[in-house]
Structure 1
Amino acid sequence: MKHLPGDGSRKKLNKTARTIATICARGGSKGLPRKNVLAFGGRPLIAHSIEQALACPAIDAVYVSTDDDEIADVALRHGAQVPYRRPAELASDSAAKIPAIEHLVRHLEALGEVIGTVVDLQPTSPLRAQADLAAALALAGRAELVVTVTEPSHNPYYTLVEAGADGRMHLSKPADFARRQDAPAVWGLNGSIYVWSRAGLAHAADAGFWAVSMLASPMPRERSVDIDDALDFELAEWYLRRQQALVADSRP
């Protein structure tokens, strides 16, 4: 494993089980090139997630896993630790995120760190609030994983459709509901926050995401934008300006 000067990888580590934040950010992005370091609200996109994690009293340290030197430099400038550059096999377009998180956590444990909880923050979800982090962390320990969710715009019992073998459309979850409000509540994973128990993360790395016990922590749609392309970026900027205007209007 390559260690780079100034990355904080040789820092003396605490032996008490801690809660750490991980932020996984690859250099490659096809939907919106270099999106993790694009200016968003006057700061690089990834800086928002780093600053949110640093401001959370329940999080003891913030680590960024990246294969990219520019992202690493930005992360270090904004207070995160970057122990190494992520191996290429964990940074391809087809690479899953759970192995990258597990790789980072095992690296820290090999250095002597004792980790009890891993709060993974998606860098492309900059609109989360401290209340969202607090709500998700309040559920930690009740399941192997806490995921943030939001109410989707379409309900599989009422409006989501798919093609059958004959090519004709039908409801994804057929049921006899006259109104959308009568259908069971469903949630969409928004990807913003994942709170893993250490054992749960290891279990998922071995058996897959859906193999772990899971609880949901709801977030409002206006804080759930996941930036994948330029349209998402523009929408997130609009929501950010809206949030800032509401804060300004509430001041005496």
Structure 2
Amino acid sequence: MTTIATICARGGSKGLPGKNILPFAGLPLIHHSIRYALQHPVIGAVYVSTDDAKIAQIAREAGAIVPYLRPPELARDDSPKLPVIEHLVAHLEAQRQIVTRIVDLQPTSPLRAPEDLDGCLARAEAPDAPGLVVSVFDSGFNPYFNLVEEQPDGSVSISKGGGLATRQSAPKVWALNGSIYVWRREALAHAAQHGLWSVSVAAHAMPPKRSVDIDTADDFALAEWLHHRQPT
């Protein structure tokens, strides 16, 4: 099985400008995801898809391969991610590379531990392996217990079910943290056309302290604080 890692890093960011290359623990933020992937023995190479020349330069310096600058139609604010990954993998295949599994890492999730990817890969290699394994965490919120949604008349009611007296009695739910996605090649191609939930999906749970997704300055500060508290 040929496994690659992909990292999608657009240059534009309205919530935190330049976030993908802001200094985090002494290195540009994207460097942490590249290094994380390169250190795993299963991953053969790390590829970065970006529309930004500065990000491309930093990614190459960190050891990633940037085969091209992403075309503008895949680099808009509203561009979905799956066609971007599919575009990158299809480009590699056009160069006669064989790709059977794709580990997609979010560059704004620098707190992963090696066991997080190990767990996702183990689930992806199980006899009943799904098309996709996603990393999740327990957010503390539950649509059966403490998540409400607005109704047409402006009132709110519980999002799902009839409402439960305790959180412990509610079905277990998970929040996607975006940190790790492990795709089978054929599942990625299908999902790029029909959406993520059109393929079979399994989850691997990560602890909340490793699930911070940096989108704002407050997220960045929290991630740095948590990083400094990690044992060395």
Question: Which TM-score tier does this pair reach, normalised by the shorter chain?
Answer: over 0.9
Residue 217 (structure 2) aligns with? 230
Where do 5+ consecutive residues of structure 1 fail to align?
Answer: 1-16, 248-252
Alignment counterpart, residue 137 of structure 1, candidates 121, 139, 145: 121
Alignment counterpart, residue 19 of structure 2, candidates 15, 18, 35: 35
Alignment counterpart, residue 157 of structure 2, candidates 156, 170, 175: 170
Alignment counterpart, residue 75 of structure 2, candidates 69, 76, 91: 91
Q: CA deviation at 1:153?
A: 2.3
Aligned ranges 1:83-122 → 2 under 5 Å: 83-122=67-106
Residue 143 (structure 2) aligns with? 156
Residue 185 (structure 1) aligns with? 172
Residue 8 (structure 1) aligns with? none
Secondary structure of 1:115's aligned partner: coil
* Cα-to-partner distance string for 1:13-56 (whole Å, 9 max, x where unaligned): xxxx5100000000000000000000000000000000000001
* Cα-to-partner distance string for 1:212-242 (whole Å, 9 max, x where unaligned): 1000010000000000010100110111011
1:197 is aligned with what amino acid?
A: R
Secondary structure of 1:139's aligned partner: helix
Q: CA deviation at 1:176?
A: 4.4
Alignment counterpart, residue 201 of structure 2, candidates 214, 222, 236: 214
State the TM-score, normalizing by the size of structure 1. Answer: 0.89
* Cα-to-partner distance string for 1:130-165 (whole Å, 9 max, x where unaligned): 100110011114000000000012111110011112
Cα distance between partner residues in 2 of 1:176 and 1:74: 50
Cα distance between partner residues in 1 of 2:124 and 2:99: 14
Q: CA deviation at 1:174?
A: 2.7
Instruction: State the identity %.
Output: 59
1:100 is aligned with what amino acid?
A: V
Residue 47 (structure 2) aligns with? 63
Cα distance between partner residues in 2 of 1:230 and 1:93: 19
Spell out structure 1 runs of 4+ moving beyond 6 A: none
2:48 is aligned with what amino acid?
A: V
Residue 26 (structure 1) aligns with? 10
Where do 5+ consecutive residues of structure 2 fail to align?
Answer: none
* Cα-to-partner distance string for 1:60-88 (whole Å, 9 max, x where unaligned): 11000001010000000010000000001
Secondary structure of 1:238's aligned partner: helix
Structure (1 or 2) with the larger CA radius of gyration: 1
Alignment counterpart, residue 76 of structure 1, candidates 28, 38, 60: 60
Cα distance between partner residues in 2 of 1:143 and 1:221: 24
Matched, 1:242 2:229: yes
Cα distance between partner residues in 2 of 1:123 and 1:186: 25
Secondary structure of 1:48's aligned partner: helix
2:72 is aligned with what amino acid?
A: A
2:89 is aligned with what amino acid?
A: V
Q: CA deviation at 1:179?
A: 1.0
Secondary structure of 2:115's aligned partner: helix
State the TM-score, normalizing by the size of structure 2. Answer: 0.97
CA RMSD between the two structures = 0.9
Cα distance between partner residues in 1 of 2:201 and 2:8: 21
Cα distance between partner residues in 2 of 1:20 and 1:227: 24
